[in-house]
Amino acid sequence: LLLEKQMKTLQKLIDIQSSLNKPNIFAQIQYLASKPAPNLEDKWGGTWTFSLILNWNLFDGFSTNAEIQKINTQIDQIKLIYDFQVQTSKIQLQNALNNLNIAKRNLETTKQNAKLSEKLLETAKIQFNNGLISNLQFYDIQRSYIASQIAYKQALRDYYKAIVDLDLVLSVGKLQ
């Protein structure tokens, strides 16, 4: 938005600079009243003056053309910066969307792993209570269950972070 305003301003400057090569016409009408003293008649009469002035800059050492070229160069630079920002914004948006998709798939996978480890823990409890597995095996399955729950919470955090990052990219895009 700021760059667009700068380009519009520079375009107006080009219009102004271009008009410096064109002739200027100035017209003036003037009436001069003269009285010898206050409260006396105007015996001397008034004077009307009409002036017409034509001003044409014949040679300015090409400074006007140089100024126009300088402004055109600035406009080209602003266009390049604008294009760069647009491309950068597109890349940031694509990265944010990719990160969100990866985080979503990771969340789904870790959720399935957490459900599976929960079922394994329930089965292990039954087996432990019936004496089919040892204490060490049961604790190992508990540890796996806790690790899967931690991985799920981390994946959930990463998913929410990806949503926030995407929202940030979209809000920055609106500001520009």
CATH assignment, 2-175: 1.20.1600.10
Encoding tokens for residue 173?
Answer: 């895009």
Give me the half-sphere count of Cα atoms (radius 13 Å) on the Cβ side of residue 46.
6
Q: Give residue 132's pLDDT.
A: 93
Q: Please tell me the predicted confidence (pLDDT) of residue 174.
A: 64
- Check: CB of residue 143 under 8 Å from CB of residue 121: no
Place of tokens 């102004």: 16
Helix, strand or coil for residue 54? Answer: strand
Q: State residue 44's pLDDT score.
A: 60
Total-model pTM: 0.61
pLDDT at residue 67, rounded to an integer: 84
d(CA 55, CA 25): 6
Looking at the chain, list the stretches that DSSP marks H as alpha helix, in order from N- to C-terminal side: 2-19, 63-129, 135-175
* Residue-by-residue pLDDT tens, the chain, 176 positions: 677 888 888 888 888 877 777 777 888 888 776 666 666 666 666 677 888 887 777 776 677 778 888 888 988 998 998 899 889 989 999 999 999 999 999 999 999 999 999 999 999 999 999 999 999 999 999 999 999 999 999 999 999 999 999 999 888 766 55
Is 158:105 a contact under the CB 8 Å cutoff?
no
Count of Cβ atoms closer than 10 Å to residue 141 Cβ: 20
Contact yes or no for 127/133 (Cβ under 8 A):
yes
